[in-house]
Amino acid sequence: MPTLDRDQIKALIPHRDPFLLVDRILELDGDKRVVGELAVRGDEFWIPGHFPGRPIMPGVLILEALAQAGGILVFTSKPQWRGQVMFFAGIDNARFRRPVLPGDTLRLEVTFTGGRLRMVKMHGQAFV
């Protein structure tokens, strides 16, 4: 089970600070599953405005972190796709169980569930 650090992640996906939302990859199971982490720091760009005095990580950024982890899974298993930009085609059944706060570590688990041509479908879950 290989691990990837932030520099190795940056070699795979085009995202950069402040929008690189995966700090490390803990597990990578071929083209099936990836597990990553994001340490939610106290100096994140969204803290002053979401919400003043009670910062809560926006749900859309949690979804983006999952998508970036999924992109890492795709680009490690399909190197011929590296350098291309991937986009969301849809998000189904998103639910948020509790707020993600500065100081939390977000565990990102993404599993490949299917695909065709250049479309992939994945299932992702984020845990504190």
Is 35 in contact with 109 (CB distance < 8 Å)? yes
Kindly name the residue from 50, 78, 107, 123 that is annotated as catalytic: 50
Helix (H) or strand (E) holding 115: strand 105-116
Is 25 in contact with 38 (CB distance < 8 Å)? no
Establish whether 15 is a catalytic residue: no
* Integer angstrom CA distances of residue 78 from 12, 72, 118, 119: 11, 10, 11, 12
Residues marked as catalytic: 50
